Structure 1
């Protein structure tokens, strides 16, 4: 979709301001969504779309200007209908319609089918105060070519990233200077509570399932409105205090352990991981991957047929992103083999090459979602800095992980963010709160971006909350199917039952597997399926895994 111009944004806000106050607080369900995005149009099922008018600026009580939130609902499939659950699929910058459209059927199976599942696009995404820094893909591609995706790519990389980040920050300001301060986590929290008010009334409790950055939104909501928390599950926990106020080097603390898991899983499944046939053990394979990356720094792979070059940043970033989802690991092992062999036929394939570049270059070639995420992150952080100020945080990230990004791109863009786009409201309090109902916090043992340590930290601050650890790899517990985890989540949303302190759930498939959702019977899995309902949940979990893998592929 072509990003709206500044003029169209202002006209939209002006027209919304003409609405009467009677329109505030009412959801207007239009009917079936009729989604056209090919990513999820065939998956959207019974998704119903609607709109809700909310205050444009929560810090200006004298203004009657409003903003239209686009909402989606996957209706309950069973009676009686229980309280609705609001989803936040993370990002920031993720399209919530895509998440609910893709996985709504599976979430109903996991949760039992008695809840309406609700999602809305946060500010900056879709039609909700859209945030984009470039008006066309050509401009976006041009800026992505100006610097590598990682500051360790060369001894000049950090300087190149700093200069490129200045250009990105200025481009974002040029297109969003009137609206950029109206996005951010605090306003997302208030918008969420407006949706709860519209669904169930002013005193209703929030039932919420947030993933990744959605856990930061959920944590801020809980801190701002603790007395209105119903059943709140936070899966794949950011460290919210660091996300909002600092640089969060901690987020990469477990990445290299995930790569170790990749190598161990590969050696255990040579039929699915061809790399296993070339190494005697996982440690040797891991060392070879790091050696391959170091070689690419001085010897990138020329692709003469298309005039392209495959670089250190391309391959390192692609491997890092693959660590989010173990179901993508068999293909990742093939990619590593092609790079080691310097196979220009495969690496020069148009689709493969475009994919590598979309991960490896510091601005995405394919969408404005990253820009919306940058807008939220930098507006929340609201902190100018010099390159010298940032170097300790960048070096800390480098020390914690060899394979993860050093986050120089994101930090340097935020350091040069225009102050006029700092979020009008920023939550600066702590998270030492007692919520009306205890929070359920979930984390994989080895997560490449939201580590278990962050989940433990947040659990310690929310009084009465319980951490459910899933002994698996990848980003959020959905990255690996676990019937144990899913049943615990269902019990929590059904009646508030929390797992026992110290509970660790096992996963139901190995790290490298070609099992699909059709293989849900006990003989195919590590542990037994006890009932037809268990089989239905496991089938849904495998379907989520398959769809996530398809998107990442």
Structure 2
């Protein structure tokens, strides 16, 4: 019974902050190719500013203290970069400044998603970044357009979002497909009504153009950037648009820009299928595992739990019940981070042996930024849909989507059935995608360091390999391990390699495996 499920709009930072990143040594050299770091008063010459954008690039940022040593500000950008003289929006920016005399400039962060909040990420940056990076850079987080505090996409009420996250549909039946399509149409119409003109302009290319405005008003001649997961797509698109302004870019957990939406769904379905098998093997080797038998049997038990939750949602300690889609979200979250596997074990034990879905529901809510009082701390779920529907053109028709759904189920029996038919929503979306899914080369840019994790379920390792190959100046760093992304959650080898580039402009040895 296919149950369309969008993967959580989960930023790499959300799970990475649950474990401490390692800290390593630094170097005192300035960023590669940028000479002495630009001061906040430096300005690009008029001919270097995109036409009509001089006022945006020339704006002064009014920083205000916003607690815990952080500074916050808004930066104005055009709603439509093709019409810079038209309506504007404000981007929320938060930074952790450094007073080090050897300051290297600003290091901009993106946690992924799409829909992850960079302003939230900065508040826990010390748990991700090494002390050396924190001391040498102003660490800057921003909410991309449409996200959280930056002209947020708004679609439904919190209660309606609860209903959507818990709903499942039998897409093998005509009635189920009709109900799903009707729900998609209602959601799309609600997003259009509540978000307005912004909904047509939350694509990644627009966000990348915003990023160049941010770079400049922060006073940096070239961009230093650390992007996780979807943040690698944003960084790669930026590099392709502004190769001459690339400083030190690190793209961790690469997305392959050339893939279609179905190819992304297939890669992730297979990635999480491998991850649940790796988890099951680890669980069976320890004590207290609620699964039994060999790995195949253990994974079958996880599938049966999802089927049970579909047919008869599990009770929880609240007045909500754990449905199949919510159970799947609760299982997916710990698969992003192998340090959380014991948490998954306890949640599965409670669900399987006690028929209690409370802990899986808690994990599902955590992945969606849902608070105990029923409110959502961010709009990550809505922004995720809005950005993806503009970034991924809809190809094919219903018959082809059904064939692709069958391919997903066959390739990944546990999670594949939940990832099919996503095209139905974007097909009725009020704004058609004009994006092209093509390779990104960023010809003429400075070196770009791509970090890939061999057991990454959300951004499979082959995507990082592809991204590094596509970029003219790409170089791949490999972390041999499980979980999503590497820097800040893996080992000292990765930390030293990434820090070596961000702090000294020194790339790690080619084909380095950590």
Q: Is the 8 A contact 2:262 2:404 kept in 1?
A: no
Match of 2:207 among 188, 197, 212: 188
Q: What is the count of residue pairs matched by the alignment?
A: 455
**Shift of residue 84, structure 1, vs aligned partner:** 1.5
User: Aligned partners of 1:249 and 1:352: how far apart in 2?
Assistant: 24
Alpha-carbon deviations, 1:414-453, whole Å to 9, x = none?
121113xx46x74665313434211111111111110001
Match of 1:69 in 2: 91
- 1:322 corresponding residue in structure 2: 334
Which of residues 104, 111, 132 in structure 1 aligns to 2:133? 111
Query: Residue in 1 aligned with 2:189?
Result: 170
TM-superposition CA deviations, 1:117-166 (whole Å, max 9, x none): 112111112332221102x3233334445x317968x8965443333212
Offset of residue 494 of structure 1: 1.4
Displacement, 1:327? 2.2
1:47 maps to 2:70: yes
Q: 2:245 aligns with which of 212, 228, 253?
A: 228
| Correspondence list, 1:409-424, <5 A | 410-419=422-431, 422=432
Question: For 1:214-363, what aligned pairs fall within 5 Å after superposition?
Answer: 214-242=231-259, 248-270=265-287, 274-275=288-289, 279=292, 281-298=294-311, 300-301=312-313, 303=315, 309-341=321-353, 343-344=354-355, 346-347=356-357, 349=358, 353=361, 356=364
Deviation, structure 1 residue 21: 6.8
2:388 to 371, 377, 380: 377
Question: TM-score under structure 2 normalisation?
Answer: 0.79
Q: 1:481 to 1:89 in 2, by over 3 A?
A: same
Q: Which is bigger in relative contact order (C-alpha 8 A, separation at least 6)?
A: 2
Cα pair 2:253 2:486 within 8 Å, conserved = yes
Q: Is the 1:111–1:489 contact (alpha carbons within 8 Å) kept by the matching residues of 2?
A: no
Residue number in structure 2 paired with 1:475: 484
Aligned counterparts of 2:54 and 2:389: Cα–Cα separation in 1:
32
Q: Does 1:141 align with 2:162?
A: yes
Q: Distance in 1 between matches of 2:238 and 2:477?
A: 21
Contact 1:150 1:408 in 2 (8 A): no
- In 1, Cα distance between equivalents of 2:254 and 2:399: 29
Contact 2:80 2:87 in 1 (8 A): yes
Q: Quick check: 1:452 aligned with 2:445?
A: no
Change (3 A) 1:390 1:111: same
For residues 6-46 of structure 1, what are the alpha-carbon distances to aligned partners after superposition, in whole Å with 9 as ceiling and x for unaligned? xxxxxxxxxxxxxx975753342322224xxxxxxxxxx32
The structure 2 residue matched to 1:198, chosen from 213, 217, 234, is 217
CA distance in 2 between partners of 1:194 and 1:30 (Å): 16
Q: Residues 96, 149 of structure 1: CA spacing in aligned structure 2 closer, same or farther, 3 A cutoff?
A: farther
Determine the structure 1 residue equivalent to 2:506.
497
- Aligned equivalents of 2:170, 2:507: Cα separation in 1: 41
TM-score (norm 1): 0.74
CA–CA distance in structure 2, aligned partners of residues 267 and 72 of structure 1: 44
Unpaired stretches in structure 1, ≥5 consecutive residues? 1-19, 35-44, 506-553
Task: Supply the RMSD in Å over aligned alpha carbons.
Answer: 3.2
For residues 239 and 175 of structure 1, the distance between their equivalents in structure 2, rounded to whole angstroms, comes to: 32
Structure 2: state its 5+ residue gaps. 1-52
Separation in 1 of the partners of 2:409 and 2:395? Answer: 22
- 2:72, 2:93 within 8 Å by CA — same for their partners in 1? yes
3-state DSSP class of the match of 1:176? helix
Correspondences of 1:505-516 after superposition (within 5 Å): 505=514
Deviations 1:377-419 (CA, angstroms, capped at 9, x unpaired): 1122343764334223323332332233533464321121113
- 1:90 lines up with 2:109 in the alignment: no
Equivalent residue, structure 2, for 1:487: 496
Contact 1:443 1:452 in 2 (8 A): yes
1:534 — aligned with what? none
